[in-house]
Every structure is written in C-alpha cells, then in structure tokens.
Amino acid sequence: MANPPPDPRPLAGLFVLDFSTLLPGPLATLLLAEAGAEVMKIERPGSGDDMRHFPPHIPGGSAVFAMLNRGKRSLALDLKTPEAIDRLRPKLARADVLVEQFRPGVMDRLGLGYEAVSALNPRLIYCSITGYGQHGPRAQQDGHDLNYMADSGLLGLVAGADGAPVLPPALLADIGGGAYPAMINILLALQARARTGRGCHLDVSMHDNLLPFAFAALAEGFASGGFPAPNTLLTHGGTPRYQIYRMADGRFLAAAPLEDRFWRAFCDAAGLPETATTDDVAARIAAHDSAEWSRRFAGRDVCCSLVASPEEAAADPHFAARGLFAHRVGAAGRALPALPVPVDPQFRAAPGLRESPALGEADAEG
C-alpha cells in the first residue's frame, strides 16, 4: 500500500502540548492545529477541561468545547502526581510548543515550569497566557475578560444612556488579548528558533494586549494630557457618523459614514442636511422601518448595515460563498459546523470532518 502524501500545511510535524482550559489557550492551539500541528490536550482525569461542561450541551458533551478543540487529542493526567511527570517527560522532550494558562508559579510548583522543562528540551517554545502577565503588582490577581477590559480603560470608553459602561458583545481579552497574541508570538518564536536553535518563554498578558484596542484614547491622552470621556471619541459615540440608531420597527441600523463622501451620500439618502446632529439622525432613522432604510441605502456607498442576529449572520449567503462553515467538527457521533478561524484556506486541510477529543482518548499511548 502506498504511503499517504505528506501533509502540506505549514505547521505539519510540530507537536504541541496544551495545558490550557476554557477559551484563550484552546483557541490558540486550535489555530495551530488547523495549520497542521499535532496538539495533545492535557486534562484533569474525570472532569477534564471546564469547557466540556459549558452549555449548549450536545450528546457526549459541550458544543463550544467541540468547536474549540477540533482535531486535538486528549490525555488525562493528575499533574500533582509524580507519575504524571514521568508520563509527560518523553512528550516534553519532543514537544515544539507548550501552552499553559495557570497563574504565575503554578507550573513551577508542579515541576513543569519553564526552567525545568527547557533544561529537558532547550528548543521548546513555552507560552504562558495569563490575565496580567508573569510579573508586576497584579500578576497573582484573579479575573475574567470583563475585569481585564475594565482595568485597561476600554470599558470606560462607551456608556449607556444612564452613564454606565455597557457589556461588550465579545470576549475581547480572551480572544484579541490572549489567543491571537499567543498564536502570533508562537509563530515569531518558531521563526527565531529556526535561526538560533533555541526556544523561549512567551509571557502573554491578556490585560496588556488590550491596550492596542485603546489606541485612539491613548493617543489623545498622551498628546493632549487629557484623556477622553465616555462617548467622545470618533468611533465611540462622539459623532453622528458612527452610531447605532433604532428604526421604526424596533430593528437597529449600524451607521458608519465617517468620511465626508460617505456622509454626504448618507445624508442625501436620508433626507438630512450635512450639519445634522446625532439627535437629528436618530429622529430621522426612527421615522421609517428597516425595509424602507434598506431600500433607500441599496446600491449606495453609505457604510450602513442592519444589525443582524447570530442566526441571520450564520445564514448569510456571503459567508456561505466564502466557505466559512464548510469545515465540520464531530462530537459523539454528531457533526456540527466548525468554528471559522482566521487561518487562510491555503494553510488548512480541505473542508471535511475532524473530531473533538473524548476525555483521555490518548491515555493508552506510550
């Protein structure tokens, strides 16, 4: 029988040990797996990753766990036992990347800290994802996405009608501050290792990595000495050209005609003067329903969109045409659309079904 052709994906042949749970680390290692890396997930015996128990539930577990762990394998180990270290030693010796998400010092106490592991495998790229980084006054502070956004100043940039900050619609710190920077820095470290032959320890702080999202507020504060109040920045409520407006049927219009040419076209379609204020635009948009505004804006460059529900977005023919949901993830005999990931199709396998791991499925391996 002929040997199968080699995997053409750019990270094929890399071996990744994933000690992380929930969202940031697992999403980072999902990106590595989609680009060809072999990812082995280390989990607690009995219960596994907490995400296995998050809703929505499907037969055999959790839909979100399945989406985040497509194509990985699972090894169940009690890391507090000496036997676990013995079992891990050969895997640590051959690993290219290790991802962990414990508080600073936990992996050291388990005998799996960077110094100990790099002595065994100097080529290892060891990526630590934490809320506040490996050092500093907040290093041991607990937190979740909302806390990191609050501490970074991002949460204070937009307020509701009562003056209170509003809940963000996405987990920016976990994804934009954790998973994506981890992936970026792992790739940079692999490139550096190709030149030097040595690995390194990556300190990925979700809090720190939120600060680029506040670039406009930081620029204003550093340049003028006065940091912006809520709802005053150009893209944070400070202009009628970048707002969300309620329409007559209760749906919402996301209007972003920032540049003059878009604003002129918007005002012309809406029957508004170019000197219109936010209140003027709000009153005008509220006078008609979404069907009327869709008709008026059709074919015009006005940078306006109806606010879609997740169901509408998932069914959007544009996303279907781009193949965003062509990949599938299998879980306990059921197949679901896989999570779309920002890995170019040329670097992934052809669309198909890949399984999420059953807890401890790799326990029998040597």
Active site residues: 144, 174
| Dist CA 354 CA 331 (whole Å) | 9
Sheet order of strands, 334-337 included: 334-337, 328-331, 353-355
- CB neighbour class for 96 (10 Å; exposed up to 12, middle 13-18, buried from 19): buried
Q: Measuring CA to CA, how many Å separate 24 from each of 28, 148, 189, 237?
A: 6, 13, 18, 29
3-state secondary structure of 317: helix
Q: Which amino acid is at 332?
A: A
Report CA Rg, the chain. 24
| Dist CA 234 CA 258 (whole Å) | 9
| Dist CA 355 CA 330 (whole Å) | 4
| Dist CA 34 CA 11 (whole Å) | 9
